[in-house]
Structure 1
Amino acid sequence: MTYLKISTLFTFSFLGIAMFGCTQKQTNEVQLSDIEQVSYNFHIRPILSDKCFVCHGPDANKRESELRLDTEEGAYAALKDDPSQFVIKPGNLEESTVYHRIISEDPGELMPPPESNLALSEKEIQLIKKWIEQGAKYEPHWAFIKAEKTELPEETDWTINEIDRFTLKKMKEKGLQPNPEAKSYELIKRASLDLTGLPPSPEVLDRFGDFSGELSYEDLLDGLLADPGFGEKMAILWMDISRYSDSYGYQDDNIRTQWPYRDWVIHAFNENMPYDQFVTWQLAGDLLPNANKEQILATAFNRNHKYTEEGGVIDEEYRIEYVLDKTNTVSKGLLGITMECAQCHDHKYDPFSQKEYYEMFAFFNNTPEKGYQGDVSQSKPAKTPILFVEQEDLSGIMNFINYSDTSKLSISVMGELEEQRPTYILDRGVYDAPTVEVEPSTPSSIMEFPEDLEKTRLGLAKWMTAAENPLTSRVFVNLMWQEIFGQGIVKSAGDFGMQGDLPTHPELLDWLAVDFMENGWDINRLMKQILSSATYKQSAVITEKHLNTDPDNLYLARAPRLRLPAENIQDLVLASSGLLVRKLGGPSVKPYMPEGIWEAATSGRGELATYVQDKGDKLYRRGLYNFIKLTVPPPKAIIFDSSNRDRCEIGRSRTNTPLQALVMMNDPMILEASRVLAGKMWEENKNGEMAIETAFKRIVCRDLTTKEKDILLSYYEDQLNRFTENSDQILPTLSVGEFPLEEKNINPETAALMQVIVSIYNLEETITKS
């Protein structure tokens, strides 16, 4: 079939581009001669963390020869077996034992030892040498130092706001120049997808035009931020962070009703709730003075983890598992640190002891939650503690919850025991091996826990949102940057520790973090600030200079070209076809699903043993609302790299696989959307050329070029001849999906247009933000 040939061509073109990009040699490494002053944080610590801290780092249980290289005191100390010798003698290479060990040719002396399978490169050795010669100055880890605003780089004709002054400075350092501004239709599509996850309609494209009329680019941003779709777009990220799902996980994986929490997240973003309040309510809304039901509902954030409903389990074992999950989610999702590494022993790379891990753990260890609740045959939609939402609540403070049923809702939320439950360091992290008792506290390397704060989750929230906390604002600003540019200023968004990536623009990150706090933790303002910048508004055109100097676009001399998240691919298809039902919030829905997938992965018990597809409008909701069963995540979303939702995730991978092309060619929703849009286009135009032009603009958000029009018209004529000569193929082709097929649309023209539209949906440009 011609359709398959064209689709395959598009697919191979896409994969070819991706493979070409992956094979470009990285040439943006800093040369040693370019470094005047060696920095411990940015040059030396990454080397030591990778090659030395396993044996000479924070973990006392694994430390060799009682030698530490992660602290100034340890590195400057005299050798235990020879006090006349020193590990590092600042400014004195000859008396620095470390240097002689890393250049030794004797396998018995060489560090790292050959059996470790670790080795220093010549460049790393020379960096360490230069650092010692310059005084071997240690610095606190950059992410644990309070952020400060530095002096702004110079302003130029290109710069629009402060962001650009930092990015342009870095571009110039790397020998790059910014791209020209993108075309207006590109900016309209890009901003719409970034802020709402939905494509702009042809009417919006025409209304804003080239921004030379009454409506400006700023008007566009203001309108998008005010659109309810903004909260839905932002909620996708937060559902990954909060590990939201509609089932409990483990073997039976039965249904639960946490979706009102998702409605609250959407509501909070659409109301532009300040981020410090957003965090506080989720951590400790139930502990606020005179807490209302909305504040308590927000604490469902802590209860979204997996739960076992299997018989015979040990209650305390799973209760501890749930507290561990809460601790790890908060540390990774809100603080950007890998505290979970210290569950069983002191952290090997970061300055977090096992004691400090369980001090954080203690904040979440005082809830009446149980590890196992009741008879497995009596699965309940929420586990204790439970918030019940009555009908009168839905017309009052909880009016953002979209629920038409008359029964009350039950949601798992947080509660606090009246008497403090003791917390112990667990030997090797084992639930039944308590050792030393600890009190609730936080890692001192980040920020001491003030004595005047209550030792509860509310105190933790105050500590986390204090202006002196070096992480919370940095981590969130970085997440927003990642949402827009595809990777954060710190690429490892969930790891700001020693093993994480260094920020590409450290001064910009700190400036934004401080500015965010100074302006009331205003999320809308931050997003508008980023999207208003000249950095954001650049064209995505890639030049040879870009590929040679900065293939990963670390220094932002062009706009990124990024495939849409899985949920937004669904949204784009439904919105452009006219099928999208823009209902805000409500229970999750079950769209089309390949037969047998659920049944093959369940115990055969419970409400979710068999997949029951929804009907009517529920089939055409946004991807955010698709039912998430933990043991069988939505297969189409997983193919497009969505989160499994079984743990906190703050960044998704991006892959290019043939399965993605097969989904775009064969998924029932895409075929149905193509059929419905084809019918509309033929009804409105009664002309193949005009129908194709209009459909293309709805889907790709720009006008066809002459060459593209000729290709698609030729394909349309080919398919029209096929269906005219083989009329028996028309009905089987159009009979896809449950949206009603009208008699008047059962014709060769609609069938031919459907094939063309499927091909347009299968274009790389369609599902790419550029």
Structure 2
Amino acid sequence: MVFKRRNIYALILLVPFFWSCEPSNTEYDSLESIDQVSYNFHIRPILSDKCFACHGPDANKREADLRLDLESSAFKVLKENPGKFALVSGKPEESEAYHRISSLDPSEIMPPPESNLKLSEGEIALIKKWIEQGAKYEPHWAFVRAEKGKLPPKTEWTKNEIDQFTLQKMKEKGLKPNPKAESYELIKRVSLDLTGLPPSPAILQQFSDLDESGNYEKLIDNLLAQNSFGEKLAILWMDISRYADSYGYQDDNIRTQWPYRDWVIHSLNANLPYDQFITWQIAGDLLPNPTKKQILATAFNRNHKYTEEGGVIDEEYRVEYVLDKTNTFSKGILGITMECAQCHDHKYDPFSQKEYYEFFAFFNNSPEKGYEGDVSISKPAKTPILWIEREDLSGILDFINYQDTSKLSVSVMGELEGEKARTTYILDRGVYDAPTSPVNPSTPASILEFPNNLPQNRLGLAQWATNRDNPLTARVFVNLIWQEIFGTGIVKSAGDFGMQGDLPSHPELLDWLAVDFMENGWDIKRLMKQIVSSATYQQSAKITRQHLNKDPENIYLARAPRLRLPAENIQDLVLASSGLLVNQVGGPSVKPYQPEGIWEAASSGRGVLATYVQDHGKSLYRRGLYNFIKLTVPPPKAIIFDSSNRDRCEVGRGRTNTPLQALVMLNDPLILEASRVLASRLMTQETESKTAIEDAFLRILCRPMSSKESRLLMSYYDDQLKRFQSYPNQVKESLEVGEYPLEENHINAETAALMQVIVSLYNLEETITKI
């Protein structure tokens, strides 16, 4: 539903303020500031950018049989120049690599001029210093056991160990921290981060003075104790676990995996330690005397797409499902790109194709099938299935929100044993029907060798992943939580901790947090409290010219980030601030307002999802987490705001800025309905328009209105009021949006005018931005 007229004041209010700046080139610190040159953090990035194209892991493009990515190759005699070496420890003048990169002769200089690559003087000097110090190669940083290093010193500014690390880095970069944010800014920020909901006026009032002793900590504890905490963090895990409400592929029929989502929310709210959280999901069915709760958790492995198209080859799709499980575990839990080794040895990371299929073998023993029947028969779960009975809902599975009387079915994991156990083979070029050598379940030795005392099944894999010596699991999760809060992880490439991934901006902090996380029982809520309690988190988001010049991407955290809310939380903010939000945790997914014809255009015309059937009543006002996700046609509004389409594991989302987003905020029926409902509730006979606008502003922007803003909004309200008084036929037309009951006494020019003001407030950049 689109409004036919827009006042110029609305346009003024809608103009967002954008910072646009080119990313800075990577600049290396002066040599004097680097006591010990590191291969991982100083030299390898240069070689990777400028040298590995011809002297790296790709055998097809390698020149002179020289690999600079391997120590053994870099120090051996040059094949085409006997008696010379690419590197000579301690002697740059005798190192052919240094001679070539520092040469002025176009016929000798490396990289060659035709490559359009060139090393800067600083990079050449850094490589020289590295050779002088012995040209020591190092194992990849992410594959080395995490240890706590020495803490940087405390200052008056630091509140916990996080600040000691970030402040040290700021000082190294010539930055200083921002002042502390205003109380209302911080209350909104921490509320959105921990619950995904804006603070109510009552919360803003209760904690208005965060400088009062213990007030901020009380606010954090209050937010962590709410059920909305689990709902907020579950969005991240739904992306990782590729949760959806349909099977994908052409027919894309309905499935009932939502009890797994209820389990995730429940587990996060109960603060199930992360090591148990992933152990249950990977191998809950293999625990001693597993409960239905533990078996339900294994639905994590079964959320991938399934085909229901007749005529497919069963084994081809069964293998596809196992590949998906393998790749989801490696990316979502280990943060590595194991999938690159499906067809051949990994080109950059130390993973062979053999190791990939040894990893694959952990998931290859499930009794599931590749094809299990035609879409014309409703099968909301695939074998193996967990059946949830009515008595379970009042017992061990009492967290599942289900009002129906029928049984529930969920796709979960099972394990073939004895003679039925399946042998795993290396697949030639990754093709399902080209088995070669048999392999046993194992893990990449470069990460951590699989201990002999662990069972060679998924339970052993989970125990390996949560072993104190595993260098990845804790680092990856801590980084994901950091990304959730600051927008970018300490490692920017959250799904790739391998050699082609980004280096950590604060490596010592990442390791300290990872070890501290493990030492304190893998406690998720404690980790989040630790981060939001830091002075680093509590800074103002104000951007100065110094920030733009020295750190435009805010890598070194001398200010709080400005981040647009995730798609689901934009919906949550609108519903909560308007009073429409139904605070009901869990349950089946819901189908909210959606433009007509979208599903039908992409549907095969078969199954119960061939036609979109919108829900009604309270189901329209649930949190965005519960929106029904059909894989072939994900929710359009969420996709416009960069949500995951859930067809594969994703560990991060982009943040785009497009005209479509503005159109959604202006025309989405839910936003218009919320504006109408809030206007109706605020505009009574006893309420002055100015008071109603102040109340709406506080609910939506979570701060007091300035006098200038008050004058502008009152002027806009008066203008709209005159319009509706002059054209009374437009009053009902404007208010008659959405299904929430419209009372006759609210159909008046005053309510319609206030509604227009509220629509404008929802369209402010500040409204949907965490500042």
TM interval, short-chain normalised: over 0.9
Q: 1:577 maps to which residue?
A: 578
Q: 2:179 maps to which residue?
A: 180
Higher deviation after alignment, 35-44 or 74-83: 74-83
> Separation in 1 of the partners of 2:117 and 2:613?
53
- The aligned runs of 1:158-169 (5 Å cut-off) are 158-169=157-168
Q: CA deviation at 1:55?
A: 5.3
Q: 1:209 maps to which residue?
A: 208
3-state SS in 1 of match to 2:92:
coil
> Separation in 1 of the partners of 2:113 and 2:725?
73
Asked whether the equivalents of residues 251 and 603 of structure 2 are also in contact (C-alpha less than 8 Å), the reply is yes
Q: Which amino acid counterpart does residue 356 of structure 1 have in structure 2?
A: E
Q: 1:316 maps to which residue?
A: 315
- 1:377-425 CA distance string (max 9 Å, x none): 3241111111111111111100111001111111111111114311111
1:643 matched to 2:663? The reply is no
Q: Report the CA distance shift for 1:378/1:114 in structure 2 as closer, same or farther (over 3 A).
A: farther
> Separation in 2 of the partners of 1:66 and 1:401?
61
- 1:676-696 CA distance string (max 9 Å, x none): 000000027521000000011
Q: CA deviation at 1:320?
A: 1.0
Q: Report the CA distance shift for 1:77/1:327 in structure 2 as closer, same or farther (over 3 A).
A: same
Q: 1:532 maps to which residue?
A: 533
Q: 2:701 maps to which residue?
A: 700
Q: Report the CA distance shift for 1:425/1:49 in structure 2 as closer, same or farther (over 3 A).
A: farther
Q: CA deviation at 1:9?
A: 3.1
Q: 1:338 maps to which residue?
A: 337
3-state SS in 2 of match to 1:708:
helix
Q: 1:261 maps to which residue?
A: 260
> Separation in 2 of the partners of 1:351 and 1:117?
29
Asked whether the equivalents of residues 21 and 551 of structure 1 are also in contact (C-alpha less than 8 Å), the reply is no
Q: 2:227 maps to which residue?
A: 228
1:13 matched to 2:16? The reply is yes
Q: Which amino acid counterpart does residue 702 of structure 2 have in structure 1?
A: C
- The aligned runs of 1:116-515 (5 Å cut-off) are 120-211=119-210, 216-419=215-418, 420-515=421-516
Q: Report the CA distance shift for 1:105/1:422 in structure 2 as closer, same or farther (over 3 A).
A: farther
Q: 1:609 maps to which residue?
A: 610
Q: Which amino acid counterpart does residue 759 of structure 1 have in structure 2?
A: S
Q: Which amino acid counterpart does residue 418 of structure 1 have in structure 2?
A: E
3-state SS in 2 of match to 1:323:
helix
Q: 1:723 maps to which residue?
A: 724
- 1:181-235 CA distance string (max 9 Å, x none): 1111111111110000000100111111213668711110001000000000000
> Separation in 2 of the partners of 1:159 and 1:457?
43
Higher deviation after alignment, 424-433 or 56-65: 56-65
Higher deviation after alignment, 729-738 or 148-157: 148-157
Asked whether the equivalents of residues 28 and 123 of structure 2 are also in contact (C-alpha less than 8 Å), the reply is no
Q: CA deviation at 1:33?
A: 5.7
Q: Which amino acid counterpart does residue 483 of structure 2 have in structure 1?
A: Q
Q: 1:40 maps to which residue?
A: 39
* TM-score normalised according to structure 1 size: 0.96
- 1:145-170 CA distance string (max 9 Å, x none): 11111111111111111111111111
3-state SS in 2 of match to 1:437:
strand
- The aligned runs of 1:733-748 (5 Å cut-off) are 733-748=734-749
Asked whether the equivalents of residues 89 and 135 of structure 2 are also in contact (C-alpha less than 8 Å), the reply is yes
Asked whether the equivalents of residues 639 and 660 of structure 1 are also in contact (C-alpha less than 8 Å), the reply is yes
> Separation in 1 of the partners of 2:143 and 2:384?
35
Q: Which amino acid counterpart does residue 200 of structure 2 have in structure 1?
A: S
> Separation in 2 of the partners of 1:222 and 1:377?
50
* TM-score normalised according to structure 2 size: 0.96
> Separation in 2 of the partners of 1:735 and 1:324?
50
Higher deviation after alignment, 480-489 or 112-121: 112-121
Structure 1 unaligned blocks of 5 or more: none
Q: 2:764 maps to which residue?
A: 763
3-state SS in 2 of match to 1:617:
helix
Work out the percentage of aligned pairs sharing the same amino acid: 74
> Separation in 1 of the partners of 2:343 and 2:119?
29
Q: CA deviation at 1:32?
A: 5.1
Q: 2:592 maps to which residue?
A: 591
Q: Report the CA distance shift for 1:296/1:505 in structure 2 as closer, same or farther (over 3 A).
A: same
1:541 matched to 2:530? The reply is no
Asked whether the equivalents of residues 53 and 349 of structure 1 are also in contact (C-alpha less than 8 Å), the reply is no
Q: CA deviation at 1:29?
A: 5.2
Q: CA deviation at 1:120?
A: 4.4
Q: Which amino acid counterpart does residue 414 of structure 1 have in structure 2?
A: M
Q: CA deviation at 1:634?
A: 0.7
Q: CA deviation at 1:67?
A: 3.5
> Separation in 2 of the partners of 1:417 and 1:55?
47
Asked whether the equivalents of residues 721 and 750 of structure 2 are also in contact (C-alpha less than 8 Å), the reply is yes
> Separation in 2 of the partners of 1:339 and 1:54?
21
3-state SS in 2 of match to 1:683:
coil
Asked whether the equivalents of residues 253 and 375 of structure 2 are also in contact (C-alpha less than 8 Å), the reply is no
> Separation in 1 of the partners of 2:25 and 2:88?
35
Q: Report the CA distance shift for 1:301/1:192 in structure 2 as closer, same or farther (over 3 A).
A: same
Asked whether the equivalents of residues 590 and 618 of structure 1 are also in contact (C-alpha less than 8 Å), the reply is yes
> Separation in 1 of the partners of 2:347 and 2:10?
50
Q: Report the CA distance shift for 1:298/1:759 in structure 2 as closer, same or farther (over 3 A).
A: same
Q: Which amino acid counterpart does residue 273 of structure 1 have in structure 2?
A: L
Q: Which amino acid counterpart does residue 8 of structure 2 have in structure 1?
A: K
Q: Which amino acid counterpart does residue 632 of structure 1 have in structure 2?
A: V
Higher deviation after alignment, 398-407 or 102-111: 102-111
Q: How many residues align?
A: 766
Q: CA deviation at 1:439?
A: 1.2
Q: Report the CA distance shift for 1:658/1:6 in structure 2 as closer, same or farther (over 3 A).
A: farther
Asked whether the equivalents of residues 54 and 348 of structure 1 are also in contact (C-alpha less than 8 Å), the reply is no
Q: Which amino acid counterpart does residue 537 of structure 1 have in structure 2?
A: Q
Q: CA deviation at 1:31?
A: 4.5
- 1:102-125 CA distance string (max 9 Å, x none): 456788866556776755455444
- 1:449-476 CA distance string (max 9 Å, x none): 1111111011110010001111100110
Q: Which amino acid counterpart does residue 130 of structure 1 have in structure 2?
A: K
3-state SS in 1 of match to 2:21:
helix
- 1:250-307 CA distance string (max 9 Å, x none): 1111111111100000000000000000010011001001011111110111111111
When the two chains are superposed, the root-mean-square deviation of aligned CA atoms in Å is 2.0
Q: CA deviation at 1:175?
A: 1.1
Asked whether the equivalents of residues 171 and 178 of structure 1 are also in contact (C-alpha less than 8 Å), the reply is yes
Asked whether the equivalents of residues 176 and 558 of structure 2 are also in contact (C-alpha less than 8 Å), the reply is yes
Q: Report the CA distance shift for 1:337/1:149 in structure 2 as closer, same or farther (over 3 A).
A: same
> Separation in 1 of the partners of 2:157 and 2:213?
24
Structure 2 unaligned blocks of 5 or more: none
> Separation in 2 of the partners of 1:200 and 1:703?
13
1:523 matched to 2:524? The reply is yes
Higher deviation after alignment, 69-78 or 432-441: 69-78
> Separation in 2 of the partners of 1:186 and 1:77?
59
Asked whether the equivalents of residues 375 and 606 of structure 2 are also in contact (C-alpha less than 8 Å), the reply is no
> Separation in 2 of the partners of 1:357 and 1:308?
24
3-state SS in 2 of match to 1:436:
strand
Q: CA deviation at 1:346?
A: 1.2
Q: Which amino acid counterpart does residue 39 of structure 1 have in structure 2?
A: S
Q: Report the CA distance shift for 1:344/1:100 in structure 2 as closer, same or farther (over 3 A).
A: farther
Asked whether the equivalents of residues 697 and 703 of structure 2 are also in contact (C-alpha less than 8 Å), the reply is yes
Q: Which amino acid counterpart does residue 636 of structure 2 have in structure 1?
A: P
> Separation in 2 of the partners of 1:110 and 1:369?
58
> Separation in 2 of the partners of 1:474 and 1:80?
41
Asked whether the equivalents of residues 274 and 522 of structure 2 are also in contact (C-alpha less than 8 Å), the reply is yes
3-state SS in 2 of match to 1:552:
coil
Q: Which amino acid counterpart does residue 638 of structure 1 have in structure 2?
A: I
